[in-house]
Amino acid sequence: MTTDDTFESRLRDVTSEADPVPEHVVADAKAVFVLRDLDAELAELVADSWVDEPAVLTRALVADVRMLSFVCGDITIELDIDNDPVSGRVHIHGVAVGAAGDVVVVLTGHRLTVPLDDSHFDLELPTGGPLRLELTRPDGGRVTTTWITV
């Protein structure tokens, strides 16, 4: 061991005590294995306004809404996500073209069913966090978006 290795090892011990991975984070990560969905087709994220826009532009638009697009075959899903910095609430306006029936919002702890109104839906969540959307094709086939964090 060099001096640096010894010092780094001491720093690792201190850090492991001062800033450990919380147990609930590990437990939650293990628990999500049951959320695996092998039957649904995955709608990939094809556009994210917070990632795709040049940094200079987004810096000027910091308070702006985040826009996401997902595609899976003939289904397209567009989301406008608006985080209220004061209340922490998250408002999502969505358009799901090509889907039928309801949209199911899958959060890591529970699921919400939101009706589609002429391809549109609105959703308000008390706090942000990881979620995905499940939709149904007119022929009954299931489609799920990739996980996102809002």
Partner 1 sequence: MVTIDYDEPVAPLLHAAAAGDSFAWDTLVDRFSGLLWATARAHRLSQSDAADVVQTTWLRLLENLGRIQEPERLGGWLAVVARRECLLVLKRSHREPPVPADEWLDRVPDQRAPVESAMLVAERDAALWQVFDELPDPCRRLLRVLVADPPPAYAQVADALDIPIGSIGPTRARCLAKLRTLAMQSGALDPDDVVDVSDAALSAGGES
CB 142 within 8 A of CB 132: no
Sites for partner 1 among residues 92-121 (CB under 8 A): 108
Check binding of 87 to partner 1 (CB under 8 A).
Answer: no
- Shortest gap between Cβ of 96 and partner 1 (angstroms)? 19
**Candidate residues 39, 54, 56, 62; the one interacting with partner 1 per rule CB under 8 A:** 62
- Shortest gap between Cβ of 118 and partner 1 (angstroms)? 29
Check binding of 10 to partner 1 (CB under 8 A).
Answer: yes
Give the chain's end-to-end CA distance (angstroms, integer).
44
Can you name the residues that pair with 122 across neighbouring β-strands? 93
- Shortest gap between Cβ of 22 and partner 1 (angstroms)? 7
d(CA 90, CA 41): 26
Q: Which is nearer to partner 1, 37 or 74 (CB)?
A: 37
Q: Which is nearer to partner 1, 59 or 118 (CB)?
A: 59
d(CA 136, CA 54): 34
Mapping DSSP onto H, E and C, the string for 35-94 reads: HCCCCCEEEEEEEEHHHHCCHHHHHHCCCCCEEEEEEECCEEEEEEEEECCCCCCEEEEE
Residues that bind partner 1 (CB under 8 A): 2-8, 10-22, 24-26, 28-30, 32-33, 35-37, 42, 50-51, 55, 58, 62-63, 66, 83, 85, 108, 128-130, 132, 144, 146-149
